[in-house]
A and B are shown apart, each in its own frame.
Chain A
Amino acid sequence: MSMRRYILRRIPQLIPLCIFAIVINFTLMHLAPGSPIDYLVGGGEVVPKEYIEKLTREFGLDKPLHEQLLIYILNVFSGNLGTSYRYRTPVLQVILERVPNTLLLMTTSIMFAFVLGIFLGVSSSKRPYSLVDNLASTISVLGYSIPTFWLGMLLIIVFSVYLRWLPTMGMSTIGAQLEGWEAVIDTLRHLILPATTLGTTYLALYTRLTRASMLEELRKDYITTAWGKGLDDRAVYYRHAFRNAMLPVTTVLGLNLGLMLTGATLTETVFSWPGIGRLVYDSIITRDYPVLMGIFIIVSITVVLANFIVDILYAILDPRVRYK
């Protein structure tokens, strides 16, 4: 079966999955205690009953739940995610403004972690329990167990407060009015600390996973065959073991990429990075439910898409999936 047919066959399966995610998100949100109206009117005792009823009607909250759900789904499919209570602007706009910032932070840290993690993992697997391996293992375990917010603050103290090399917060120098390359460099300087903080966790994950996966592949029979052909280390490790070992690593990469849009609430909060994670945090504090729901929906769709992409990657990496 060709790759194209495989992909075409998979696409229709995605739509029910997305609808299902929307229903779950919607239901969960309405199961949560309290009504959005309470927050809108400020919860005061003196608010006239008529006003509350008017608002309830306006937001369609007087209709039965299943009707609300249907309206919401129809709205979502026409691209209308509602209006933010806090910003008084369409939810989609609020979210889309933050997306590039989060994508920048997440792609940088995941890619940094993925590339370096695979390199460390493969190096470790070549000589298990050697100095290199033990060093990589120690760094990974440390990286994985240090809380993100703590590591972030530590980096700020060392590199921003004491050494004064890098900015402490935000995405750009406030009031600097930079243009062109200077603006790019300014953003990159702001990016280093949060990306390192976030990347450290992922780095540990990819290193351990790659190492374990490589060691498992290197024990397999086809590796003996590869050595038996007179191939050198590079060919055996990279051409043979590596490609097979990448299957589980790809799965995790896909899951991580899928959750990329959730941002990293902790890291973004510590560094005041204006991304989705920070938006989630702010929306919870201010009970901005439409924004929260909007984020959840976009995240759900990204996760579904990311899984789809992983499946395609799987089919590319492993012919046994493709030809089934």
Chain B
Amino acid sequence: MGGGEPVLEVRDLRTYFPTMRGTVKAVDGISFTVLEGETVGLVGESGCGKSTAALSIMRLVPAPGRIVGGEVLLRGRDLLKLSEAEMRGVRGARIAMSFQDPMTFFNPVMRIGDQIAEGIIRHQRLSRREAWEKVISTLEVVGIPSPRDVAMSYPHQLSGGMRQRAMMAMALSCHPELMIADEPTTALDVIIQAQLLELMKDLKRELGMSSLIISHDLGVIAELCERVAVMYAGKIVEYSDIRRILREPRHPYTVGLLESIPRVGFKKERLIGIEGSVPDLIEPPPGCRFSPRCKYADEKCKEDPQLIELEEGHYVLCHHPVMGGG
């Protein structure tokens, strides 16, 4: 697992949105690495900046948002320094992204097959017929039972699960070095969700692809990822391998996140949520952004915390890391 060369290195990435009220620092200096064959999770509440982080890697931040600093290295090459034309050669071919709601992220008036074939034709310079053959085989890979019918369908004719699979197929179609999956299971009901997680695990085993999974659901992340970065209010607050995070979370926010997952079989255990809500990203609280919601917060937390390595490969952005697990 992991241990190979880094495929993606994100260093001090910052993406800001100017608004009438001030600058929203949606992504504020995050760093993480995805190694060859590794699956890394980016987890956090909605609005914490995880989707913006993904779009920043693809350089698809919607206006007026702008990447204001940092580096996104794909096998050592900074994507932020590429021309737009060069970047177009990266998107879909070397980094592909699947989006959370395949109903709105597919073009409603184009056949699924054409939408997948488009990228293949663009990057592999195949004829339409050859591309369609690839579409069919890719749809088979993601476990679609009648790929020809699905390829001929329009998005609204498919079920949610099928659409998500087709979305996966679209991302996989050009054999990218890195796949980014934004909330791959969120729009689905539990059974389909479980099927899709199985599929993603299979794909990971078979293709050995590096991927970045973005989710608010630690359960999904735990199923798929070797390492996880916990994001809060635009910053990564804890970063480690998944087992350590699950067994001994050190950041109070991660602890809260774990405690708010309902567990089947634990009778009448009261769910402990996190008090308060995500802070305003225009005027974030001074120092540690989690401090207003943190039960361990004191005066020291008014100063900016530094990312500290507690043990090898386990980083925490906190003045008072929790000891002895959640």
- Residue of A222, A229, A317, A319 near B154 (CB, 8 A) is A319
B105/A222 in contact, CB under 8 A: yes
B257 in the interface (beta carbon within 8 A): no
Q: Contact: B89 with A230, CB < 8 Å? A: yes
5 inter-chain pairs at a CB distance below 8 angstroms, sorted by A residue, are A222-B104, A225-B115, A229-B122, A230-B93, A231-B92
B200 at the interface (CB under 8 A from A): no
Does chain B have a CB within 8 A of A38? Answer: no
A220 within 8 A of B: yes
B302 in the interface (beta carbon within 8 A): no
Contact of A229 among B108, B109, B119 (CB under 8 A): B119
CB pair A229–B92 under 8 Å, yes or no, is yes
Tell me the nearest residue of chain B to A223, going by C-beta: B107
On A, residues with C-beta under 8 Å from B are 220-222, 224-232, 235, 239-240, 243-244, 317-320, 323
Task: List, in ascending order, chain B residues with CB within 8 A of A227's CB.
Answer: 58, 60, 91
The distance from the CB of B61 to the nearest CB of chain A, in whole angstroms, is 10
Q: Is B156 an interface residue (CB 8 A)?
A: yes
Interface residue count on the B side (C-beta < 8 Å): 30
Q: Which chain B residues lie closer than 8 Å to A224 at the CB level? A: 55, 60, 62, 99, 105
A228 contacts B96, C-beta separation under 8 Å: yes
In the complex, which of the residues B62, B91, B101, B107 contacts A228, with contact meaning CB atoms closer than 8 Å?
Answer: B91
Within 8 A of A (CB), among B65-114: 88-93, 96-97, 99, 101, 104-110
* B23 touches A (CB below 8 Å): no
Q: Which residues of A contact B255 (CB under 8 A)?
A: none
Scan B209-253; emit 1 where CB is below 8 A from any A CB, else 0.
000000000000000000000000000000000000000000000
| Contacting pair B122 A222 (CB below 8 A) | no
- Any A CB within 8 A of the CB of B157: yes
B170 within 8 A of A: yes
Chain A residues within an 8 Å CB radius of B107 = 222, 225-226, 240, 244
Q: How far is the CA of A235 from the CA of B119 in the complex (A)?
A: 11
**B60→A230 contact, CB < 8 A:** no
Given contacts A221-B105, A318-B108, A318-B109, contact A230 B90 (CB under 8 A): yes
Closest residue of B by beta carbon distance from A247: B109
Whole-angstrom CA separation of A132 from B119 in the bound complex:
31
Q: Mark B281-292, 1 if CB is under 8 A from A, else 0.
A: 000000000000
Residues of B within 8 A of A221 (CB): 99, 101, 104-105
